[in-house]
Amino acid sequence: MNAHRPLIGVTLDSEQPSADGQPGYSRFPWYAIRQNYMDMIAECGGLPVALAHDPDLATALVARLDGLVVTGGAFDVPPDLYGAMDQHATVQTKPRRTLAETALVHAALARGIPVLGICGGMQLLGVLLGGTLVQHIPDTYPAALPHEQPNPRNQPGHDVAIVAGTRLARLVGQDRLPVNSAHHQAVADAGRGVICATAPDGVVEAIELPDHPFCIGVQWHPEFGISTGDRLLFEGLIDAARQTGT
């Protein structure tokens, strides 16, 4: 492995304080991230660093990064960001997090560093590329698979078909991958991006930006390393980030 470890920024989730007398991590607002995001980046040769939710710092942060990972979470992109007039009853937002991640993605794309969007991070990436979202999959895909899978997240929930000729296809070297699934929304229109993977029910599972050195969004959670393709995706991110940092 190349001794150079590129610096990979990883976005955090945010949680509200626990009420007095109730169990919880803290009685003050706190950040959160699953350990396997950081572990996977480190195992693949990167140096992961957590990013605070301050849009005013986004340009300065990205100036020091070699790559960016926009993580998932149990919340949704505000519908007004993609021109939706109505908000589905299931939609829950975290405006401060979205504002910070939006600024980070814009700065990363402008600087040309690698970007990987995961689950909700893919949805935000799709919106920032000019696309739109399906606000609740069962309403648009009546015969949809259980995209919020009932089995544990460290097990596959369904397969995805990889579009031939895409960067994602070249990275994973396969036309199908088993993936986990934990989402009720999906990309409807990828805007300037292109669709590079779909589920058997037609739900968009991955997008990429062809004219960028590395800009991919996946709807599943590759940090769990369910398939060899998951690790290859992170290795591709790290390899591209090494080029940024040279």
What residues are annotated to the active site? 119, 221, 223
Give the tokens for residue 241: 């980030």
State the helix-helix crossing angle for 228-245 and 35-43, rounded to 10 degrees.
70
Length of the chain: 246
DSSP for residue 80: G
CA distance 184 to 166: 25
DSSP for residue 52: -
Q: Which residues neighbour 83 within 8 Å (Cβ) at sequence distance 6 or greater?
A: 132
Give the tokens for residue 98: 């979205």
**DSSP state string for 161-203:** EEPTTSHHHHHH--SEEEE--B-S-EEEE-TTSEEEEE-TTS-
**Contact call for residues 172 and 162 (beta carbons, < 8 A):** yes
- Pairing type for strands 13-15 and 30-32 reads antiparallel
CA distance 92 to 71: 16
**Contact call for residues 69 and 116 (beta carbons, < 8 A):** yes
User: In this structure, what are the phi and psi dihedrals at residue 108, rounded to the nearest 5 degrees?
Assistant: -65, -45
